[in-house]
Amino acid sequence: MKSESYSSFIFDVESSEVEIGTYTKAILEHAEMIKRSSYLLYGSKETNVSIKANRPGSLEVIFSYIEGPTIIAAMIGAGAILIQTIVEFYQSKKDAQENGGAKTIEVNNKVTKIKFNNGKIINYTVNINQLIEDEEINKSSERLFKTLQSDTKVRGISIKDERSGIVLEREEFPEMMKPITVQDDINNTKTEVCRYNLQVIRPYLSESLPKAWEFLRFKDQSSINAKIVDDDFLNNITKYSFTVGTIMDVDLEITSEYDEYLQEYLEKKYKITKVHEVKERA
């Protein structure tokens, strides 16, 4: 027993035409996505993909795919789930871009749950992880969207069947070329260096050990403890006179950690990498 399913691939173009190279390469890569996904999801190596006639002058490509006589592939609705999986695969790429990348990916009872680095969790209704991890799928997706990106007349595409669909705009093509990679811990901390005027509250006057000083940060009137690691300053520290109220113009390195409960970065550590000037308040 074989099952036949249909889906469409629509070019959104500026005029009623598209370059033949773009057309042929794009539909070939999409056909490969269908066949490879059918194999990953159902074990079907006999999926035949063809193009059906629609109407004269249309840039909508109707794909027909007949899966081989395997038990799973012959199940009713298998073809629709196939396109739904491809659609949600592309949607997960959009979601990863919008939410700082994927942190963890879990599959439970064929449902995929992705936790993103900003703390957001999205459940996908099918097992897209098989596509996410497959090298051939990712290469085919990259080739497809490189082809579309190279043709300036293509403003976007749509992929759909009777159950699901997705619209991808031109500005989203670069993200569709990239594979989804789990980036656990990569975005959990961040470091930035900013120039600040800090008021000395308690100095640590030593020529050797760079222990923390206490400062008032004028930006938010907060008290912070920061080590000074500027060797030029430390080697000449005896040249300066420090009292409560002394102002230091510095480069402040701030290390922040992501708080999953608050879903924001919180400052954790401070370090002064450069002292530009020491000023006494009048």
282 residues of the chain, pLDDT tens digit each: 456 677 888 888 777 777 888 888 998 999 899 889 888 887 776 677 877 755 554 456 666 655 544 433 333 344 558 889 999 999 999 999 898 888 889 888 778 999 998 889 999 998 898 899 899 999 999 999 999 999 888 889 999 887 889 999 999 999 999 999 886 544 577 788 888 899 998 887 655 545 788 999 887 788 999 999 999 998 888 888 888 889 999 999 998 887 777 767 789 999 999 999 998 766
Residue 14, pLDDT score:
75
Residue 222, pLDDT score:
87
**Cα 63 from Cα 35, distance rounded (Å):** 11
Q: How would DSSP label each residue in the chain? A: --EEEEEEEEEEESSS---HHHHHHHHHHHHHHHHHHHHHHH--S--EEEEE---TT--EEEEEEEE-S-TTTTSTTHHHHHHHHHHHHHHHHHHHHHTTSEEEEEEETTEEEEEETTS-EEEESS-THHHHT-HHHHHHHHHHHHHHHH-TTEEEEEEE-SS-EEEEEGGGHHHHHSPP-B-TTTTTEEEEEEEEEEEEEE----SS--PEEEEEETTTTEEEEEEE--HHHHHTGGG----TT-EEEEEEEEEEEEETTTTEEEEEEEEEEEEEEEE---
For the whole model, what pTM was predicted?
A: 0.59
